[in-house]
Chain A
Amino acid sequence: MDQKNKNSKKPVYSKFSQQELPAWKPILTPGWVIASYITIGALFIPIGLLAWTASDSVVEIVDRYDEACVPDDFSKNPQSYIQNPDIKKTCTRSIKVPKKLVAPIFVYYQLENFYQNHRRFVKSKSDKQLRDVKAENDTKFCLPVAYDYDNKPIVPCGLIAWSLFNDTYKISTRGKDISIEKKGIAWKSDAKAKFGSNVYPKNFQKDGLIGGATLDESIPLSEQEDLMVWMRTAALPTFRKLYGKINTDIEAHDTIKVEIQNNYNTYKFGGRKKLVLSTTTWIGGKNDFVGMAYISVGGICLFMAINFILLYVFRPRRLGDPSYLSWNRHPIT
Chain B
Amino acid sequence: MGKDKRKKMHLSKMYSIRRNGFEEDLSQIGGKGFSRVVHCNENGGLEGINLQNYADNYVRSTKYTPVTFLPKSLFEQFRRVANFYFLVTGILAFTPLAPYSAVSAILPLIVVIGATMVKEGIEDWQRQQQDHEVNNRIVKVHSGRGDFATSQWKKLKVGDIVKVEKDEFFPADLLLLSSSYEDAICYVETMNLDGETNLKLKQSLDATSSINEDSKFNNFKATVKCEDPNASLYTFVGTMNFQEQRYALSPQQLLLRDSKLRNTDYIYGAVIFTGHDTKVIQNSTDPPSKRSKIEKRMDSIIYFLFFVLFLMAFVGSIYFGVVTKDDLDGSRMKRWYLRPDDSDIYFDPDQAPLAAIFHFLTAVMLYSYLIPISLYVSIEIVKVLQTIFINKDVHMYDEESDKPAHARTSNLTEELGQIDTILSDKTGTLTCNSMEFIKCSVAGTAYGRGVTEVERAMAKRVNGEDRFDEIVTEAYSHLSVKGYKFEDERITNGRWVNEPHSDVIQKFLRLLAICHTAIPDVDEETGKVTYEAESPDESAFVIAARELGFEFYKRTQTSVTFKEFDPKSKKRVERSYELLNILEFNSTRKRMSVIVRDDEGKLLLLCKGADSVMFERLSKKARQFEEKTRDHVHEYADAGLRTLILAYRELNEKEYEEFNEKFTEAKNSVSADRDDMISEVTDQIENDLILLGATAIEDKLQKGVPETIDKLAQAGIKIWVLTGDKMETAINIGFACSLLRQGMKQIVITLESPEIIAAEKAGDKNSIAKVSKNSVQKQIAAGKAQIYASKSDAYALIIDGKSLAYALNDDTKNEFLELAVGCASVICCRSSPKQKALVTRLVKEGTGKTVLAIGDGANDVGMLQEADIGIGISGVEGMQAVMSSDIAIAQFRFLERLLLVHGHWSYRRISSMISYFFYKNIVFGTTIFLYEAYTSFSGQPAYNDWYLTLYNIVFTSLPAIALGVFDQDVSARLCLKFPLLYQEGVQNTLFRWRRVFSWMLNGLFSGIIIFFLCMKSLNPDSYDKNGKTAGMEIMGATMYSCVVWVVNCQMALAVSYFTLIQHIFIWGGIFLWYLFLIVYGALPSSVSTTAYKVFVETLAPAPTYWLVTLFVVIASLIPYICFKAVQMRFYPGYHGMVQWIRHEGRANDPEYFQMVRQQSIRTTNVGFTARSIARDKEFEWHLER
- Interface on chain B toward A: helix, strand, loop, or mixed SS? helix
Q: Which of A193, A280, A321 contacts B1027 (CB 8 A)?
A: A280
Contact at B1032–A235, with CB atoms within 8 Å? Answer: yes
> What sequence of 0s and 1s flags, for each residue 170-210 of chain A, a beta carbon within 8 Å of any chain B beta carbon?
00000000000000010111000110000000000000010
Q: Which of A26, A211, A304 contacts B337 (CB 8 A)?
A: A211
Given contact pairs A117-B934, A269-B335, A304-B1118, A324 touches B394 in the complex (Cβ within 8 A): no
> What sequence of 0s and 1s flags, for each residue 1095-1113 of chain B, a beta carbon within 8 Å of any chain A beta carbon?
0011000111001100100
Q: Which of B1022, B1035, B1058 contacts A235 (CB 8 A)?
A: B1035
Residues of B within 8 A of A163 (CB): 336-337
Contact at B1017–A289, with CB atoms within 8 Å? Answer: yes
Contact at B1103–A30, with CB atoms within 8 Å? Answer: no
Contact at B938–A10, with CB atoms within 8 Å? Answer: no
Residues of A within 8 A of B1162 (CB): 331-332
Smallest beta-carbon distance A40→chain B, Å: 6
Inter-chain CA distance A23–B970, complex, in Å, is 12
Which of B1019, B1020, B1028 is packed against the most chain A CB atoms within 10 Å?
B1020
> What sequence of 0s and 1s flags, for each residue 284-324 of chain B, a beta carbon within 8 Å of any chain A beta carbon?
00000000000000000000000000000000000000000
Is A28 among interface residues, defined by CB-CB distance under 8 A?
yes
Residues of A within 8 A of B1086 (CB): 127-128, 131
Is B968 among interface residues, defined by CB-CB distance under 8 A?
yes
Inter-chain CA distance A320–B1085, complex, in Å, is 61
Contact at B1108–A290, with CB atoms within 8 Å? Answer: yes
Is B1036 among interface residues, defined by CB-CB distance under 8 A?
yes
Residues of B within 8 A of A12 (CB): 392
Q: Which residues of chain A in 253-292 are interfacial with respect to chain B, using CB atoms and an 8 Å cutoff? A: 265, 268-270, 278, 280-287, 289-290
Inter-chain CA distance A8–B1129, complex, in Å, is 48
Q: Considering only CB atoms, which chain A residue lies closest to B406 in the complex?
A: A9
Q: Which of B935, B1035, B1104 contacts A283 (CB 8 A)?
A: B1104
Is B767 among interface residues, defined by CB-CB distance under 8 A?
no
Q: Which of B1032, B1136, B1156 contacts A122 (CB 8 A)?
A: B1032
Residues of B within 8 A of A301 (CB): 1114, 1118
Given contact pairs A189-B1092, A284-B1025, A238 touches B1085 in the complex (Cβ within 8 A): no
Q: Considering only CB atoms, which chain A residue lies closest to B395 in the complex?
A: A18
Contact at B1125–A23, with CB atoms within 8 Å? Answer: no
Given contact pairs A18-B394, A234-B1032, A235-B1036, A119 touches B1103 in the complex (Cβ within 8 A): no
Contact at B1023–A33, with CB atoms within 8 Å? Answer: no
Is B343 among interface residues, defined by CB-CB distance under 8 A?
yes
Residues of A within 8 A of B1155 (CB): 320
Q: Which of A25, A47, A188, A290 contacts B1057 (CB 8 A)?
A: A25
Q: Which of A145, A189, A325 contacts B1134 (CB 8 A)?
A: A325
Is A319 among interface residues, defined by CB-CB distance under 8 A?
yes
Is A327 among interface residues, defined by CB-CB distance under 8 A?
yes
Given contact pairs A23-B1057, A121-B337, A235-B1035, A280 touches B1025 in the complex (Cβ within 8 A): yes
Residues of B within 8 A of A74 (CB): none
Contact at A19–B337, with CB atoms within 8 Å? Answer: no
Contact at B1020–A280, with CB atoms within 8 Å? Answer: no
Residues of B within 8 A of A324 (CB): 1130-1132, 1137
Q: Which of B392, B393, B1032, B1102 contacts A233 (CB 8 A)?
A: B1032
Given contact pairs A23-B1057, A265-B336, A282-B1103, A30 touches B1129 in the complex (Cβ within 8 A): yes
Is B339 among interface residues, defined by CB-CB distance under 8 A?
yes
Contact at B1025–A115, with CB atoms within 8 Å? Answer: no
Contact residues on B (Cβ < 8 Å of other chain), bracket = 35 or more
Residues of A within 8 A of B157 (CB): none
Q: Which of B362, B402, B1056, B1092 contacts A194 (CB 8 A)?
A: B1092
Smallest beta-carbon distance B923→chain A, Å: 18
Contact at A108–B339, with CB atoms within 8 Å? Answer: no
Inter-chain CA distance A120–B359, complex, in Å, is 12
Contact at B338–A232, with CB atoms within 8 Å? Answer: no
Contact at A9–B402, with CB atoms within 8 Å? Answer: yes
Given contact pairs A187-B1028, A241-B1029, A143 touches B934 in the complex (Cβ within 8 A): no
Residues of A within 8 A of B393 (CB): 11, 17-18
Contact at B938–A120, with CB atoms within 8 Å? Answer: yes
Given contacts A28-B1124, A284-B1025, A320-B1156, 6 further A-B contacts (CB under 8 A): A20-B972, A60-B1021, A189-B1085, A235-B1018, A287-B1017, A294-B1111
A-B contact pairs, 22 of them (CB 8 A): A11-B394, A19-B968, A23-B1058, A28-B1125, A47-B1107, A118-B935, A118-B940, A120-B343, A159-B337, A187-B1028, A188-B1097, A211-B336, A235-B942, A242-B1022, A269-B334, A278-B1021, A284-B1021, A319-B1141, A322-B1137, A324-B1132, A326-B989, A332-B983
Residues of A within 8 A of B (CB): 8-13, 17-30, 33, 36, 40, 44, 47, 51, 60, 104, 106, 108, 110, 114-115, 117-122, 127-128, 131, 143-145, 159, 162-163, 185, 187-189, 193-194, 209, 211, 232-242, 245, 265, 268-270, 278, 280-287, 289-290, 293-294, 297, 300-301, 304, 308, 311-312, 315, 317, 319-322, 324-328, 331-332
Residues of B within 8 A of A (CB): 99, 332-339, 341-344, 346-347, 362, 388-389, 391-394, 397, 399, 402-404, 716, 905, 934-936, 938-940, 942, 966, 968, 972, 983, 987, 989, 1013, 1015-1036, 1056-1062, 1084-1086, 1089, 1092-1093, 1097-1098, 1102-1104, 1107-1108, 1111, 1114-1115, 1118, 1121-1122, 1124-1126, 1128-1134, 1136-1137, 1139-1144, 1152, 1155-1156, 1159-1160, 1162
